[in-house]
Amino acid sequence: MKNRKLMNLLYLLIVSSMIFFNVGCSEDETTTPPVVTVNESEELVKYFEANGDFINTSTPTLITATDVNAAILASENIAILDIRSATDYATGHIQGSVNVAPADLLTYYAANNLASKTKVVIACYTGQTAGFATAILRLKGYSNVWDLKWGMCSWKYPSRWQTAALNGQTNPITIQTTANAKNVAGNLPTLSTGKTTGVEIRDTRLATVLAEGFGTASIDRTTLYTNLSNYYILNYWPVADYNVGHIEGAIQYTPKVDLKLAQFLKTLPTNKTIVVYCYSGHTSSFIAPFLRSLGYDAKSLLYGTNNLFYNTMPGTKWVDTENKDYPVVQ
């Protein structure tokens, strides 16, 4: 009897040990690893700043019609991507250029090995949509991409810039000469791509911003002046030019200095549309997609101050001599 009890006890001990061991192993095997969380916007801006810091070093990358024409005549290994409508492209375009939809630029660049070209020139109507596209490609790491300054207006068809400059002369805005203070620094926007590394977040955000298009990332004079208080107006000029006169309520940010993480980037609001303006809309068309990639609702003011107070503005002005009247093909 005693032996039977002893055997039963041993059996229970063995079974209990096996159950405990199996349960312990099962729990170990099914334990979910900790979720890695990052501040995506901060991770992205740190990535940009550590990898060329394009916005604060080289922006804007512009090339003149004169230089593009010289490259063509010299048979240089360049590519020209015309992102105007198919109809306008067919009416007349630069010899050798290819018509590409703006939304397809990232995939077209990669699929056609454009990294092998000495230069990739993006041509639009005025140089502003091309600036938006060039910024995205540059932020992607494609360092051979250039925006045709003044767009096709400088090559053959000047009417859009002539109209904008004339409007700035005949319908000037009221300018302000007193300074407006920046916001107190706050937080960066919240991004939710689900990615954790800078390069992954970059690729996801740039694809999104390109798909949204320049129409979403730009604003015209009429819309802005419907109610200036609706916007945080970012003047992207040196202080000396800002002091000459600026849009009422505009806040000055020094180019290539103030939009750094360690400077004043965090003073930009996350709950208000930011309107970036420069002299011609070229530089602001580069800044807007950068800010949008970080999650800000940023827009470039079309034509800059050329379309606002042309006669008294500092900086770069459209003049008729910018149009070279180069030949086009159909």
On the question of a cis peptide bond just before residue 33, with omega within 30 degrees of 0, the verdict is no
Q: What is the pLDDT of residue 24?
A: 46
Tokens 């939710």 locate to 192
Which one has a higher pLDDT value, 31 or 175? 175
Could you report the per-residue pLDDT of 92-147, keeping only the tens digit for each? Answer: 999 999 999 999 999 999 999 999 999 999 999 999 999 999 999 999 999 999 99
Cα separation, 167 vs 163, in Å, equals 6
Closest of 211, 165, 206, 224 to residue 290, by C-alpha: 206
Query: Tell me, what DSSP letter sits at residue 324?
Result: -
Q: What is the pLDDT of residue 43?
A: 98
Residue 189: which residues within 8 A CB-CB, separation 6 or more? 41, 270, 294, 295, 296
Closest of 244, 320, 326 to residue 279, by C-alpha: 244
- Total-model pTM: 0.90
Cα separation, 121 vs 77, in Å, equals 11
Residue type, 72: I
Neighbours of 52 (CB within 10 A): 14
Residue 172: which residues within 8 A CB-CB, separation 6 or more? 308, 309, 310, 311, 312
Q: What is the pLDDT of residue 6?
A: 44
Torsion, Cα of 124, 128, 129, 132 (10° steps): 130
Which one has a higher pLDDT value, 167 or 17? 167
Cα separation, 162 vs 147, in Å, equals 19
Q: What is the pLDDT of residue 19?
A: 40
Cα separation, 237 vs 254, in Å, equals 6
Q: What is the pLDDT of residue 61?
A: 98
Stretch 75-82: mean pLDDT: 98
Q: What is the pLDDT of residue 30?
A: 58
pLDDT exceeds 90 at position 31:
no
Q: What is the pLDDT of residue 4?
A: 52
Chain mean pLDDT for the chain: 93
Q: What is the pLDDT of residue 35?
A: 56
Q: What is the pLDDT of residue 38?
A: 87
Cα separation, 140 vs 84, in Å, equals 22
Cα separation, 221 vs 123, in Å, equals 23
Could you report the per-residue pLDDT of 150-204, keeping only the tens digit for each? Answer: 999 999 999 999 999 999 999 999 999 999 999 999 999 999 999 999 999 999 9
Q: What is the pLDDT of residue 37?
A: 76
Residue 51: which residues within 8 A CB-CB, separation 6 or more? 141, 198
Range list of H helices, the chain? 2-30, 40-50, 54-57, 65-73, 86-91, 105-111, 128-140, 159-170, 198-212, 221-226, 239-244, 282-293
pLDDT exceeds 60 at position 17:
no
Q: What is the pLDDT of residue 239?
A: 98
Could you report the per-residue pLDDT of 207-220, keeping only the tens digit for each? Answer: 999 999 999 999 99
Cα separation, 309 vs 312, in Å, equals 6
pLDDT exceeds 90 at position 13:
no
Stretch 281-302: mean pLDDT: 99
Share of the chain above pLDDT 90, in %: 88
What does the DSSP assignment read for 38-98?
A: --HHHHHHHHHHHTT-HHHHT---EE-HHHHHHHHHTT-SEEEEE-S-HHHHHH-B-TT-E
